[in-house]
Amino acid sequence: GGGNVAGIAKAILTRLGLDQHPMDMQVSSLSGGEKAKLALARQLVGLAGVDVIFLDEPTNHLDIQTTEWLEDFLRDFDGAQLIVSHDRYFLDQVCNRIVEIQDLHAWPYTGNFSRYIRQKTALEASLADRIATTEKKIKSTMGAMAQMKRANKYDKSISAKHKMIERLQQELKALKARVPKKRKPLRLRFDAIDKASKDMVDLKNATKRFDGLDRAILDAQDLEIRKGDRIGIVGGNGQGKTTLLKLIVGDEKLTSGKIEVSPGVVIGYFHQDHATLDFDLNPVEQIETLRPDLQYGDIRGALGRFQFTSDKVKTPMKALSGGERARVALLKLLLEDNYLLLMDEPTNHLDMESKDTLEEALKAYEGSLVTVSHDRWFLDQVVNRIWEVNEGKVTVYYGNYTDYVRAKKGLPPLTEEEREELAKAEDEDLD
């Protein structure tokens, strides 16, 4: 009845963090993120009796805990789901089929996102052989048809061979369309990394309070960042994840305790205000100023891997969108000499190909990394530590995000062999 629906609605609004507002508040007064959450809540409340649900980027504006709640919610939904999402970990958790849209074609794959990646990798590895075989068949059929014409054998078999060649040529075109474009790796410069001290940053009895808050954001914590550490910071909204980055870089000061940064440690900081950019320059000029040693083609290629088209690379920064500026700032950071990278939500505004580019670059990076991110797939790829921030305390977990989730359940991290066995078992279940 109506009371039950109201109860469900209130529970969903609470989980999405919208219960802090009066229920009679005007929707126009909500922020963009809150409006997106409200639209999601409206869909979820109305699921009773629904056979199919359509979701467009449902995890945008959600923290990790809320996203995991949504995954549980959708796994319990009996109907079909059609989801558009750039959240790879989310797709892994809730989907059993993936459809890739590429060059006006829809390519279906069975299984979740991880299995899609494995299938696509295997397909791409076999494409060269399949293309060569198809070209050989076309050449052979055309040769046979030419012989028949020379022998004046104009019968139904020539017509059949014409149709076969047309079919093979269409097949060849489709195969070539699936060949991935060769991408140049980003040419990063980390020449001075070995000069950095092993002990990079130490936080000792570190406490941070803000006026008006009844609890400390950081409460007498001892933390360390060592050479080679790749740390992902996770925690609920308002727990102080970004504040922790600002404390390390010096944009915020501790209330008590101290932070020691080893002499000579150069810190690069990616955040959302893009203060390091010259807004009068275009993206190419921005990178040329930083790296005069790079050729124009290399700069253009690097920008292309971060979604910049030929017209956008010549557009002044002040005329670009916030997301486009973020991508230039990110590339600029990757091309600088830094011993320690601090990154606040670096995968925001990136499509999947650009996320892959960033992950490849960070895997090749020899310095240390501390990143705040709600992108669990990204954390799985690039970190070897997790700092969980909660109520002023920071708990350290070893391994990537999946290892952290297992540790929270009392389970040991998976070995590489165990990961491969699990993937193999999943593939066999679906075959």
Nearest alpha-carbon partner for 83 in 113, 48, 126, 41: 113
| Dihedrals phi, psi of 360, to nearest 5 degrees | -60, -45
- The one-letter amino acid at 374: H
Who wins on pLDDT, 46 or 146? Answer: 146
Residue 288: both structure tokens together: 């040329």
In Å, what is the CA distance from 218 to each residue of 198, 205, 261, 262? 25, 9, 18, 22
Most confident of 41-45, 104-108, 139-143, 190-194: 139-143
Who wins on pLDDT, 332 or 32? Answer: 332
Lowest mean pLDDT across 28-37, 180-189, 395-404 = 180-189
In Å, what is the CA distance from 349 to each residue of 199, 232, 307? 33, 19, 10
pLDDT at 187: 52
Most confident of 5-14, 153-162, 373-382: 373-382
Mean pLDDT, residues 89-117 taken together = 92
User: Domain 2-95 is of which CATH architecture?
Assistant: 3-Layer(aba) Sandwich (3.40)
From CA 295, how far away is CA 12, in angstroms rounded? 53
From CA 140, how far away is CA 136, in angstroms rounded? 6
From CA 135, how far away is CA 145, in angstroms rounded? 15
- pLDDT tens-digit profile of 250-274? 999 999 999 999 988 889 999 877 7
Check whether 355 has a pLDDT greater than 70: yes
Check whether 195 has a pLDDT greater than 70: no
Check whether 145 has a pLDDT greater than 90: no
193-399 maps to CATH 3.40.50.300: yes
| Dihedrals phi, psi of 78, to nearest 5 degrees | -80, -20
CB atoms within 10 A of CB 53: 17
From CA 63, how far away is CA 237, in angstroms rounded? 7
**Band of pLDDT at residue 2, cut at 50, 70 and 90:** very low
Tell if the pTM clears 0.75, that is, is over it: yes
From CA 302, how far away is CA 341, in angstroms rounded? 19
Given a contact cutoff of 8 angstroms between Cβ atoms, the answer to whether 232 and 373 are in contact is yes
In the chain, the N- to C-terminal Cα span, in Å, equals 43
Who wins on pLDDT, 46 or 162? Answer: 162
From CA 229, how far away is CA 322, in angstroms rounded? 30
Mean pLDDT, residues 346-357 taken together = 85
What mean pLDDT is reported for the chain? 86
pLDDT at 178: 80
Hey, do 2-95 and 193-399 end up sharing a CATH topology, with the first three levels equal? Answer: yes
In Å, what is the CA distance from 44 to each residue of 12, 13, 278, 280, 327? 8, 10, 44, 45, 33
Q: Which helix (H) or strand (E) holds 379?
A: helix 376-382
CB atoms within 10 A of CB 61: 18
Check whether 341 has a pLDDT greater than 90: yes
CB within 8 Å of 180: residues ≥ 6 apart:
124
SS3 per-residue string spanning 140-194:
HHHHHHHHHHHCCCCCHHHHHHHHHHHHHHHHHHHHHHCCCCCCCCCCCCCCCHH
Q: Where are the domains of the chain?
A: 2-95, 115-177, 193-399
Check whether 310 has a pLDDT greater than 60: yes
